[in-house]
Amino acid sequence: MTNFTEDSYFILDAYFDAGPTKYLFFLLLLSLYSLIICANVLLIVVICVNRSLHEPMYMFLCSLFVNELYGSTGLFPLLLLQILSDVHTVSAPLCFLQIFCVYSYGSVEFYNLAIMSYDRYLAICCPLQYNTRMTSNTVSVLIAVSWIYALLLVAVTVSLSSPLQLCGNIINKVYCDNYAIVKLACSDTTLNNIYGLISTAFTIFVPLTLIFFTYMRILKVCFSGSKQTRQKAVSTCTPHLASLLNFSFGACFEVLQSRFNMNTALQNALAAQFLVVPPLVNPIIYGMNLQQIRSRMLQRFTHRTGIFRKN
């Protein structure tokens, strides 16, 4: 039995010897990470500098884009380092730090999507009450609570796992995973498993239940409302649904992969999908589908190109 200290380490066993092609993988992933940073930062800046976009929906989007940066940064730097390395080890403190980042990213993402669905529900189903119920203070509280609650929830998860006595140090993934570490434990993990089920319920099932409820109400209004109401619902809800389905698929596959020991290269790649695809796709989905963001981006681009032409 081993109590892990600062000098201890874990082995990420899902990596394979790619030979010289590892440099190609490194360049591809570095380009992908750079694209994620540029796309999300661009939309954050566009929303922040344009006062006309300081509305609840865009504030929630800004929180979503910040979380995409946070989650991808929790994965890519270590991933890039491991690809170039011949020894795929990570120190115990760094491993638990990555677990904290990855898990809190997932929690904040689900809470953000749930809050955004509630915002769309108010805008479509209760338009006359929207401005009084979704005030700037309400927006700030909802965003703050979603982040603080997620961070505290995951902090407890990590604090329960880090003192465990372990009988091994091999993790069959490309990144550190809390459940994989719990399965290595020689000591009693009953508390970890119970809390894991509770936190999973509050992280996944509670937000999804809220999203399901709000969309049932939205659909009811759409079927009984005017053509204009249906068009508004489609234009504002389509990006949100695409983002929800994209992230939920990756997150659910990651949970299944961890629980049922699916450790092929393809399965490990799909398990990391929720950390790679949403941060890349969400800025494209919202940037292309929401007219106000698209028009503001075009205005700033044409304004800058006009300045360059004058010079």
pLDDT tens for 110-124 read 999 999 999 988 988
For residues 53 and 293, give the distance between their C-alpha atoms in angstroms, rounded to a whole number.
8
Give the model's pLDDT for residue 5: 46
DSSP 70-88: HHHHHHHHHHHHHHH-SS-
pLDDT of residue 309: 46
Q: If you ran DSSP here, which 8-state letter would residue 201 be given?
A: I
The tens digit of pLDDT for each residue in 218-247 reads: 888 777 766 776 776 777 777 888 888 888
DSSP 168: -
pLDDT of residue 107: 93
Distance separating alpha carbons of residues 137 and 151, to the nearest angstrom: 21
Q: What pLDDT is recorded for position 112?
A: 94
pLDDT, position 238: 78
Q: What is the pLDDT of residue 157?
A: 94
Predicted confidence at residue 250, as pLDDT, reads 74
In this predicted structure, the answer to whether residue 1 has a pLDDT above a threshold of 80 is no
What is the structure's pLDDT at 63? 95
The domains located in the chain, with CATH, are: 8-310 (1.20.1070.10)
* 302, pLDDT greater than 80: no
**Secondary structure element (H or E) that encloses residue 89, with its range:** strand 89-91
Q: What is the pLDDT of residues 32-53, one digit of tens each?
A: 999 999 999 989 988 888 888 8
| Mean pLDDT over the full length of the chain | 83
pLDDT digits (tens, 9 = 90+) for 159-203: 999 988 888 888 888 889 898 899 898 888 999 999 988 998 888
Q: For 122-144, how does the pLDDT look when each residue is reduced to its tens digit (9 = 90+)?
A: 988 888 889 899 999 999 999 99
Give 268's pLDDT tier (boundaries 50, 70, 90). low
Scanning 5-135, the segments in alpha helix (DSSP H) are: 22-49, 56-84, 92-125, 130-133
Cα separation, 201 vs 210, whole angstroms: 12
pLDDT for residue 291: 64
Say what the alpha-carbon torsion angle 31, 32, 37, 40 is, to the nearest 10 degrees. Answer: 140
Amino acid identity, position 180:
A
The sign of the CA dihedral 165, 170, 175, 180 is negative
For tokens 């990855």, name the residue.
102
pLDDT at 265 over 90: no
Which residues on neighbouring strands pair with residue 171, listed in sequence order?
A: 12
pTM comes to 0.86
Rg (CA), the chain: 21
pLDDT at 87 over 60: yes
